[in-house]
Structure 1
Amino acid sequence: MANQDTDTGWKLNSETVAGVFKATVQNAPNAPYCKSTDCALTYGQAAGAIQTLADELRPNVQGRPVAIILPNSSAFFIAYFAILFAGGKPALINHGHPEATLTKLLSDLNAAVVISDRNLGGTRTRILQDADLQGMIKPVDLDALVDEGTAQDIAAILYSGGTTGLPKQVPHTNASIVATMELGDWGWRTAEAEIWLPVAPFTHIYGFLMGLTNPIINAGAVVIPERFQPDLIVDMLLEENVTIFGGGPPAIYQGIMASTKFASTKFPNLRICPGGGAPFPLDVHRRWEAATGLKIYEGYGMTEIAPISINTEAYGVKPGSAGKAVPGSVIEIVDLETGDTVLPTGEAGEIRTKGPHMMTGYTGNPEETAIALRHGYVYTGDIGTLDDEGFLTITDRKKNVIFVGGFNVFPREVEELLLTHPAISGACVVAKADERKGELPVAFVTLRSDANPSEIAAFCDENLIAYKRPTAVNILPEMPLTAAGKVDRAKLQNSLKVEG
Structure 2
Amino acid sequence: MQSLFDNGPFVPCPTPFNLAAHVLNQGAAGHLAEPKRPALSVLGPHGSQDWAYTELRAAVRGTGTGLLAAGLEPGDRVLLRLGNTPIFPIAYLGAIAVGLVPIPTSAQLTEPEVRRMMDELSPAAVLRDDGIACPSHPREITGDSLRDMQSAPPCDFAFGPPDRPAYIVYTSGTGGNPRAVVHAHRAIWARQMMIRHWYDLRPNDRLLHAGAFNWTFTLGTGLMDPWSLGATALIPEDGTAITALPALLKHHRASQFAAAPGVYRKMLLSDTSLDLPDLRHGLCAGEKLSETLATQWQMATGTRLYEAFGMSECSTFISATPGQVQTPGTLGRPQPGRRVAILGKNGQPVPRNMPGVIAVDRQDPGLMLGYHGAPDATDARIHNRWFLTGDQGEMTDDGQIRYLGRNDDMMNAGGYRVSPLEVETALAPHPDLIQIAVAAVEIKADTQIIVAFYTSAKDVSTEALFAFAKTRLARYKQPRAYQRLEVLPTGANGKLLRRALPDCYKGHQT
TM-score bracket for this pair, using the shorter chain length: 0.7 to 0.9
Aligned partner of 1:42: which letter? A
C-alpha change, 1:284 and 1:387, in structure 2 (3 Å) is same
Residue range with higher mean Cα deviation, 74-83 or 376-385: 376-385
Correspondence 1:173 to 2:184: yes
- 2:37 aligned partner: 31
C-alpha change, 1:98 and 1:164, in structure 2 (3 Å) is farther
The DSSP-based 3-state class of the residue aligned with 1:77 is: helix
Residue 285 of structure 1: which of 284, 294, 297 is its match?
Answer: 294
C-alpha change, 1:361 and 1:322, in structure 2 (3 Å) is same
- 1:425 aligned partner: none
Alignment of 1:271-420 (within 5 A): 271-335=280-344, 338=345, 340-354=347-361, 355-400=364-409
Alignment of 1:78-89 (within 5 A): 78-89=90-101
* Cα pair 1:5 1:327 within 8 Å, conserved: yes
Aligned partner of 1:445: which letter? K
- 2:22 aligned partner: 20
Question: Quick one: distance in 2 between partners of 1:379 and 1:232?
Answer: 40
Residue 106 of structure 2: which of 79, 91, 94 is its match?
Answer: 94
Question: Quick one: distance in 2 between partners of 1:89 and 1:62?
Answer: 8
The DSSP-based 3-state class of the residue aligned with 1:61 is: coil
* Cα pair 1:158 1:171 within 8 Å, conserved: yes
C-alpha change, 1:149 and 1:41, in structure 2 (3 Å) is farther
- 1:495 aligned partner: 482
- 1:235 aligned partner: 247
Aligned partner of 1:128: which letter? G
1:422-453 deviations in whole A, cap 9, x for unaligned?
A: xxxxxxxx9xxxxxxxx9996422799xxxxx
Question: Quick one: distance in 2 between partners of 1:198 and 1:296?
Answer: 14
C-alpha change, 1:92 and 1:162, in structure 2 (3 Å) is farther
After TM superposition, give the deviation of residue 386 of structure 1 in Å.
Answer: 0.9
After TM superposition, give the deviation of residue 75 of structure 1 in Å.
Answer: 0.8
C-alpha change, 1:42 and 1:136, in structure 2 (3 Å) is farther
Question: Quick one: distance in 2 between partners of 1:397 and 1:75?
Answer: 35
The DSSP-based 3-state class of the residue aligned with 1:159 is: strand
After TM superposition, give the deviation of residue 373 of structure 1 in Å.
Answer: 2.0
C-alpha change, 1:202 and 1:371, in structure 2 (3 Å) is farther
Question: Quick one: distance in 2 between partners of 1:347 and 1:442?
Answer: 28
Correspondence 1:48 to 2:58: yes
* Cα pair 1:155 1:177 within 8 Å, conserved: no
* Cα pair 1:8 1:183 within 8 Å, conserved: no
- 2:461 aligned partner: none
* Cα pair 1:13 1:20 within 8 Å, conserved: no
Correspondence 1:254 to 2:268: no
1:383-417 deviations in whole A, cap 9, x for unaligned?
A: 1111001110111112249xxxxxxxxx99xxxxx
Residue 125 of structure 1: which of 127, 140, 143 is its match?
Answer: 140
1:207-226 deviations in whole A, cap 9, x for unaligned?
A: 23212320112212222222
Count of residues in correspondence between the two structures = 418
* Cα pair 1:4 1:326 within 8 Å, conserved: no
Between the aligned residues of both structures, percent identity stands at 21
* Cα pair 2:184 2:369 within 8 Å, conserved: no
* Cα pair 1:171 1:363 within 8 Å, conserved: yes
TM-score in terms of structure 2 length: 0.73
Aligned partner of 1:20: which letter? H
* Cα pair 2:56 2:90 within 8 Å, conserved: yes
Alignment of 1:60-209 (within 5 A): 60-118=72-130, 120-123=134-137, 124-128=139-143, 133=147, 137-138=150-151, 145-161=156-172, 165-209=176-220
* Cα pair 1:15 1:178 within 8 Å, conserved: no
After TM superposition, give the deviation of residue 319 of structure 1 in Å.
Answer: 3.5
Question: Quick one: distance in 2 between partners of 1:193 and 1:13?
Answer: 28
- 1:444 aligned partner: 443
The DSSP-based 3-state class of the residue aligned with 2:78 is: strand
Question: Quick one: distance in 2 between partners of 1:159 and 1:211?
Answer: 19
After TM superposition, give the deviation of residue 161 of structure 1 in Å.
Answer: 1.4
C-alpha change, 1:490 and 1:52, in structure 2 (3 Å) is closer
Question: Quick one: distance in 2 between partners of 1:73 and 1:293?
Answer: 32
After TM superposition, give the deviation of residue 148 of structure 1 in Å.
Answer: 2.9
1:184-231 deviations in whole A, cap 9, x for unaligned?
A: 333312112321211235555432321232011221222222246211
1:1-45 deviations in whole A, cap 9, x for unaligned?
A: 231416769989984321223324844321111222584311111
Aligned partner of 1:50: which letter? V
RMSD of Structure 2 on Structure 1 (CA)? 3.4
Question: Quick one: distance in 2 between partners of 1:266 and 1:7?
Answer: 41
C-alpha change, 1:227 and 1:13, in structure 2 (3 Å) is farther
Question: Quick one: distance in 2 between partners of 1:29 and 1:390?
Answer: 43
* Cα pair 1:16 1:178 within 8 Å, conserved: no
* Cα pair 2:197 2:319 within 8 Å, conserved: no
Question: Quick one: distance in 1 between partners of 2:146 and 2:299?
Answer: 43
* Cα pair 1:14 1:20 within 8 Å, conserved: no
Question: Quick one: distance in 2 between partners of 1:18 and 1:359?
Answer: 18
After TM superposition, give the deviation of residue 78 of structure 1 in Å.
Answer: 0.9
After TM superposition, give the deviation of residue 339 of structure 1 in Å.
Answer: 5.5
Aligned partner of 2:75: which letter? G
* Cα pair 1:72 1:224 within 8 Å, conserved: no
The DSSP-based 3-state class of the residue aligned with 2:168 is: strand
Question: Quick one: distance in 1 between partners of 2:211 and 2:252?
Answer: 18
Structure 1 gaps of 5+ residues are: 402-410, 413-429, 431-438, 449-486
Aligned partner of 2:201: which letter? T
The DSSP-based 3-state class of the residue aligned with 1:399 is: coil
